[in-house]
Amino acid sequence: MEPLELAVASPELQDRLQALDVRSCLGCGACASGCPIPGTPGMEGFDPRVAVRLLAMGREAEAAASPFPWVCTSCGRCSHVCPMGIDLTAVFSLLRGLVPRANVPGTLEKGVASVLETGNTLAIPLEDFLDTLSDIGGELAEEECPGFYVPVDKQGADLLVFLNSKEVFGDFDDLKWWWRIFYNARENWTVPSRNWEAEDWGLFTGNPDVSLVLARRKLDLMRSLGAARLLIPDCGGGSYGCRMGLKTCALQDPSRQVDAVYFYDYLLERIASGRIRLDPTRNAGRTYVWHDACKHGRELERHFGKGYYDEPRAILAACVGQENVVAMDPDRANNYCCGAGGGNWPMPFEKESAAHGRFKVAQLEACRADVVVVGCANCRDQLQKRLPRFYPGRCRYEVKYLWQLVAETMIATPWSQTEIEAAQERSRLQQRHFQAELDGGF
Amino acid sequence: MDARDRLPVLVAGGGLAGLRAALDLAVAGQEVLLIEAGTRLGGGAAHLAALVQTGQPVQALVAELAQAVAAHPRLTVRFGCRLESVTGAPGELCAVLGQTGEGSTEQIRVAAVILATGCSPFQPGGLDFLAYGVVPDVVTSLSVETMLAADGGVVRPSDGCPPRSVAFIQCVGSRMHQPEERPACSAVCCAVSVRQALALPQARRTLYAMDLRAHVAGTQEALNQAEAQGLTVRYARPHTLAAGPDGRGVTFRFIDQQGTECQDAVDMAVLAVGIGLSAANRAMLDASGVELGRGGFVATDPYAPVATSRPGVFVAGTLGGPGEASLASVQGSAAALEALAAVRVSPPPREPLPVLVLGGGAAGLACSLGLAGCGQRVTLVEASARLGGHPRKHPTVWKGRETKEAVAQMAEAVQSLPGITVMTDARLIAAAQTPQGWTGSLATPLGTQEIAFGAAVLALGSGEARPDEYLLGRDPRVMTQLEFENWRRTHPEPDDTPQTVVFIQCVGSRQRHGFTACARVCCAQALCAAVELKKSRPGAQVAVFYRDITTPGESEDLYTEARRLGVLFFRYDPERAPRVERLGADLAVTGEDILLGRSVRLRPDRLVLAVPVVPVGLAETAALFALPTTGPGFLAPVHPVLLPVDLPRPGLFAAGLCLGPKPLDESVAEAQAAAMRAIVYLAGRS
């Protein structure tokens, strides 16, 4: 092999790399030692240290052209131990951004184009969206929550809620957990009719401009709907990207700061105030473990000063009783990623994502929990669908969302006939309003 | 006598630095109050199983020093007593003392203060990935040292059995910017781990390092020995330490330099913990208005290495920055000298004989100034035509000070002081001991001249090796570091700055045989030059081929700055050193980027070689005084740690590069220490 000629990065990139302090890298390899990518078949020769080294040598094109930035789940175990405090996940996100958009793997870029154009990554039209809410809401009302409907574009709600598009698209039952909580807590909530999606795929494609657009939409909706608080949603891209975007917006224009509440804090509030009452005896006889999602714990702590480690554990303990809770080792800020972070649930690197999850499988085996409780949709899918396929016989656990567990543990607080009738009336008015809008050609 | 003469000097801290300072001052005639927050004297040194420099036990020697302190009539020792603050002007400072465990404080007036309260070890519990306090067999280097010092030997906590395998993990709480800001290298941990590895010959031993820093005297030799016994050094950092089967032992994963996923399972993992100021010390310094440097230790100037930002308050030992025990002794004596000069109101009765200082370089000048500052007459003899020695032996700029300018200022001060007789173009050609001291003959341009002196400080400097390697002497573009610094000085314009410069470190040092030691100063020197180049021409390609970047203590800053400026670093294995050749008209350096597993080639305009500092012309002077020398030919002190500037003949002391390679601030501290030791010697005789 010919000796490597050293190159110099473009001045613009130099500035961005400089801002990320990439050159301060000591090459110590702490990042690599914590990264699941080394040892992943097909990923030989790639690790965070190598990527940073290539950047130092002015060979960013080589680093960006490799699968590394995509296979990286931006879990942040690398940054967690970097003695220089380099924000490596931001560096790899920057590498994703250097890739020509046509070369972004899988459906990510398509999803981004779609969300920019239609308001959601799956291009679900307004009519279908409203039908789904109406049908699934109707089901829930019939099953156990008489009077339930999904308030859309309700002015002056206490809580503005965004939805996960894959639930609206097909995983309908997953919508109901939160709805049951809102019903029983008698929440004054609403969802927007447009731009209702929680996810932020700009985060996955390394395009901060997209994240900013999506955050602005959420802010605009808060204002136009006159909502009191924004519920920061669950899924990794959603919660973290949303926060990032909101932070940038607030930096650009302080008047655009909105009151937001992370769903963990929301649940804790409602449990503390007694609006959600729990019966932990329903969950007795099984053991439960909390899986710290990278973007809810470690990465949130790194970028926003506080990781959510204790809040979900408090909710879990309230649901199942502390005596039924076990722990993974390591956990909290040093937890292993499920392997689906950074867009690796939808991305076409299945084998690599599953290999990443080998540490998670081993951790779960060792802690022998019957139920893994998660706070992120991508973690849920990875643990429930992908890992059992790749590690047959080793994934003997059930996966539950934390809010699912809350919904299942919650003691129902039935509505009065007056409440039910009032709600049904509001639902009729809402339907009429949207029917007129749709007929009018919107 | 002025009233202020009767005020004592306060020495805070009863470790090696404090003990040395207190004893030197007391013997020199000064009343001293030594306070110690704990219940015994000896500080950190009393915990050590062995000196890192020698591998020999140290506790008996420290106890001996402590006894001498306790027994001295001019010295009062108070235990359980902590310094809370110092205020006021030099000569009459107000110190607030607190009693350990009590809320009460007491104010006393003192003439000067020496801060020697030392440092605290890093508590690794906050680094979750190291599992300290969670996995039982993850221990700190401190607890291993304590076990080694006790009779029971080293055992692992989980079952009390001697470990059959040990992993040493370096840089825990050093060289890091997160989660805590602890940017400095703690300077001794590598040496300590190597010694600990040597003390566990039955175990399989692996040392996980970022750089293995062998700058502490004796460490490279100990490392060679340990490696011959099977110690493996790995440039890797384990991430998540976990307990082994049944909760015993430690397992972890790491990625080696080649990018291969590796596992290790050991009986015990030792975290080499760094040092930093305790909260109590920080509060004391804050209350006293004593400034800290960027590394978080007391700020000092390279030319006044024990003076703090508050006049009359001096610092010795690790409070002023990480360093080995020998430096604590040196700084203890140096701080004693500064304190003595600060409290002196009326001149003491002059010693009839002067102190002879041989060598007019940075060390000789600092020593002469120190002696004169305490009223001691000095004869300064310099072999060359002018004072100032060879500041070009040091980086152009060191710790923010222009070297040449600073040394010239010292030379000017020396020439202006009436108590110092300067003789240039003069060489000592004979010396003999007399009942009053020494006599000697000087060869001067005016003929031979006889002199008598009470004591002498040898500050003879040293030179640079010129190994026949890498086309040195065969291609004008290949230079030693000194040659390059001198060339830069004569070509200072940005346009003169070369586009591509390559540095190769460890050329002729850290060898298996022959020059085995780390040459100590070359890494910092190369980095100073590299930083200067990048600042002068940001687009320049500057690369350093190195084995272990060795920037101990706060000089770690230089390494960080160089990386941030875009200097590229390539580690090389001595078995696979970079190749230098001429390719056509080009000078080509071909090496390997170990991390990428690819060879790299640069075509530098200048190739700068880090050659070791070697003794030059020392043998003759050593022979005149019948003094022993070390293996490489440097002067050998009485004890490398406890009496590091005392030579084994009465009244003879040494300072600077003739004792071995060291950075400028350490040379100056040694010069001040040698001055103090000479004063102590003369006071003891009168």
Cβ contact (<8 Å) for A24 and B564?
Answer: yes
Taking residues B128-134, report their average pLDDT: 97
Share of chain A above pLDDT 90, in %: 84
What residues of B are in contact with residue A4 (Cβ under 8 Å)? 593, 596, 598-601
- The more confident residue out of B313 and B496 is B313
User: Cα–Cα distances in Å, from A392 out to A383, B84, B134?
Assistant: 12, 65, 32
| Model confidence at B46: pLDDT above 80 | no
| Model confidence at B96: pLDDT above 70 | yes
Q: Which two tokens stand for residue A246?
A: 């909101």
Tens of pLDDT, residue by residue over A381-390, are: 999 999 999 9
pLDDT the model gives residue B4:
46
Tens of pLDDT, residue by residue over A157-215, are: 999 999 999 999 999 999 999 999 999 999 999 999 999 999 889 999 999 899 999 99
Cβ contact (<8 Å) for A53 and B595?
Answer: yes
Dihedral of alpha carbons A110, A113, A117, A119, sign: positive
Cβ contact (<8 Å) for A53 and B593?
Answer: yes
pLDDT the model gives residue B686:
66
The Cα A54–Cα A31 span in angstroms is: 15
Closest Cβ opposite residue A39 in set B261, B543, B564: B261
Cβ contact (<8 Å) for A334 and B128?
Answer: yes
CATH of domain A277-411: 3.40.50
The answer to whether B480 and B608 have CB atoms below 8 angstroms apart is: yes
Cβ contact (<8 Å) for A38 and B236?
Answer: no
Tens of pLDDT, residue by residue over B260-270, are: 999 999 999 99
The answer to whether B677 and B333 have CB atoms below 8 angstroms apart is: yes
B473/chain A closest Cα distance in angstroms: 27
A260/chain B closest Cα distance in angstroms: 28
A356/chain B closest Cα distance in angstroms: 13
Q: Of A322-326, B462-466, B611-615, which one has max mean pLDDT?
A: A322-326
pLDDT the model gives residue A15:
84
Taking residues B631-660, report their average pLDDT: 95
Average pLDDT value over all residues in chain B: 93
**Which chain B residues in 232-271 lie under 8 Å from chain A, judged by CB atoms?**
235-240, 242, 252-257, 259-261
Closest Cβ opposite residue B595 in set A27, A81, A330: A27
Taking residues A57-67, report their average pLDDT: 91
Cβ contact (<8 Å) for B239 and A77?
Answer: yes
| Model confidence at B3: pLDDT above 50 | no
Taking residues B212-218, report their average pLDDT: 94
Tens of pLDDT, residue by residue over B325-368, are: 999 999 999 999 999 999 876 556 566 799 999 999 999 999 99
Q: Which residues pair with A288 in a beta bridge?
A: A325, A371
Residue B496: pLDDT band (50, 70, 90) is confident
Tens of pLDDT, residue by residue over B402-450, are: 888 889 999 999 999 999 999 999 999 999 999 989 999 999 999 999 9
Q: Which two tokens stand for residue B223?
A: 């490392």
Domains A11-99 and A277-411 are alike in CATH topology: no
* Measured distance between the N- and C-terminal CA atoms of chain B, rounded to whole angstroms: 20
Chain A residue with the nearest C-alpha to that of B127: A81
Type of residue found at B130: L
> What contacts A153, CB < 8 A, 6 or more positions away?
A190, A192, A193, A225
pLDDT the model gives residue B163:
98
The Cα B532–Cα A138 span in angstroms is: 73
Cβ contact (<8 Å) for A49 and B255?
Answer: yes
Chain A residue with the nearest C-alpha to that of B173: A83
pLDDT the model gives residue B348:
60
A96/chain B closest Cα distance in angstroms: 21
A302 touches chain B (CB under 8 A): no
Taking residues B129-147, report their average pLDDT: 96
The answer to whether B20 and B65 have CB atoms below 8 angstroms apart is: yes
pLDDT the model gives residue A7:
65
What residues of A are in contact with residue B598 (Cβ under 8 Å)? 1, 3-4
What residues of A are in contact with residue B569 (Cβ under 8 Å)? 27
Share of chain A above pLDDT 70, in %: 98
Is residue B681 packed enough to be buried (19+ CB in 10 Å), middle (13-18) or exposed (0-12)? buried
Q: Give all domains of chain B, ordered by start, each with its CATH number.
A: 3-119+277-343 (3.50.50.60), 124-275 (3.50.50.60), 355-462+616-685 (3.50.50.60), 464-613 (3.50.50.60)
Cβ contact (<8 Å) for A26 and B253?
Answer: no
What residues of B are in contact with residue A6 (Cβ under 8 Å)? 541, 543, 568, 600, 602
Which is the CATH superfamily of the domain at A11-99?
A: Alpha-helical ferredoxin (1.10.1060.10)
| Model confidence at A35: pLDDT above 90 | yes
pLDDT the model gives residue B2:
46
Give the number of A-B residue pairs with CB atoms closer than 8 Å. Answer: 119
Cβ contact (<8 Å) for A23 and B210?
Answer: no
B126 touches chain A (CB under 8 A): no
pLDDT the model gives residue A101:
94
pLDDT the model gives residue B437:
93
Helix or strand holding residue A411 (H, E)? none
3-state helix/strand/coil string of A26-80: CCCCHHHHHCCCCCCCCCCCCCHHHHHHHHHCCCHHHHHHCCHHHHCCCCCHHHH
| Model confidence at B132: pLDDT above 90 | yes
pLDDT the model gives residue B389:
67
B596 touches chain A (CB under 8 A): yes
ipTM, two decimals, is 0.93
Residue A152: pLDDT band (50, 70, 90) is very high
Residue A9: pLDDT band (50, 70, 90) is low
**Which chain B residues in 564-583 lie under 8 Å from chain A, judged by CB atoms?**
564-566, 568-569, 571
Cβ contact (<8 Å) for B541 and A35?
Answer: no
Tens of pLDDT, residue by residue over B530-588, are: 999 999 999 899 999 999 999 999 999 999 999 999 999 999 999 999 999 999 999 99
The Cα B19–Cα B68 span in angstroms is: 9
The Cα B429–Cα A75 span in angstroms is: 71
- The more confident residue out of B512 and B80 is B80
Share of chain B above pLDDT 70, in %: 97
Domain ranges of chain A: 11-99, 111-276+412-442, 277-411
| Model confidence at A327: pLDDT above 80 | yes
**Which chain B residues in 130-169 lie under 8 Å from chain A, judged by CB atoms?**
131
Taking residues B625-630, report their average pLDDT: 94
Residue A417: pLDDT band (50, 70, 90) is very high
The Cα B666–Cα B657 span in angstroms is: 10
B416 touches chain A (CB under 8 A): no
Taking residues A129-145, report their average pLDDT: 97
Tens of pLDDT, residue by residue over B172-192, are: 999 999 999 999 999 999 999
| Model confidence at A403: pLDDT above 70 | yes
Closest Cβ opposite residue B563 in set A24, A49, A77: A24
pLDDT the model gives residue B346:
58
Interface test with A, best of B132, B134, B252, B255 (most A CBs within 10 A): B255
Q: Residue length, chain A?
A: 442
Average pLDDT value over all residues in chain A: 93
Helix or strand holding residue B428 (H, E)? strand B427-434
